[in-house]
């Protein structure tokens, strides 16, 4: 003898409103986390620029094999540009998410 499963209780308007509120709060928290990530990525970009500058200064002092420092500086500058691009996109995405919930 099989038994029928119990039907789910009806969804109330209060439950729907509460679920929507929690979803809105979760989206807002995610957007703020995205803004924080953008700031962190920008800090990384600045550090890449600082290292690149230091390596260029080192190469200018006549340290043996300056081409190694120049090549590394170029890689750090490229990484900085990549980081700035990523940070700009992340910030735009997060700001759009925040304004969508307003």
pLDDT, tens only, 83-95: 999 999 999 999 9
Domain assignment of residue 73, yes or no: yes
Taken in order 45, 46, 51, 55, the sign of the CA dihedral is positive
SS (H, E, C) 58-92: HHHCCCCCHHHHHHHHHHHHHHHHHHHHHHHHHHH
C-alpha 73: how far from chain center: 24
Query: Does residue 80 lie within any of the structural domains?
Result: yes
For the chain, how many structural domains are there in total?
1
- Domain assignment of residue 3, yes or no: no
| Eight-class DSSP state of 6 | P
CB within 8 Å of 90: residues ≥ 6 apart? 34, 35, 37, 38, 41
Tell whether 79 is covered by a domain: yes
Is there a domain that residue 57 lies in? yes
**Where in the sequence is the domain holding 84, given as residue range(s)?**
13-100
Mean residue pLDDT across the chain: 94
pTM: 0.79
Three-state secondary-structure class, residue 56? helix
**Mean pLDDT, residues 35-51:** 98
């Amino acid at each position: 003898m099989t038994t029928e499963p119990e039907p789910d209780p009806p969804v109330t308007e209060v439950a729907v409103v509460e679920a929507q509120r929690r979803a809105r709060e979760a989206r807002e928290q995610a957007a703020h986390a995205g803004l924080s990530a953008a700031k962190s990525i920008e800090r990384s970009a600045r550090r890449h620029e600082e290292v690149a500058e230091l390596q260029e200064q080192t190469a200018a002092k006549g340290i043996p094999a300056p081409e190694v420092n120049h090549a590394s500086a170029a890689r750090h500058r490229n990484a900085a540009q990549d980081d700035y691009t990523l940070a700009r996109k992340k910030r735009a995405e997060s700001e759009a998410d925040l304004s969508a919930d307003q």
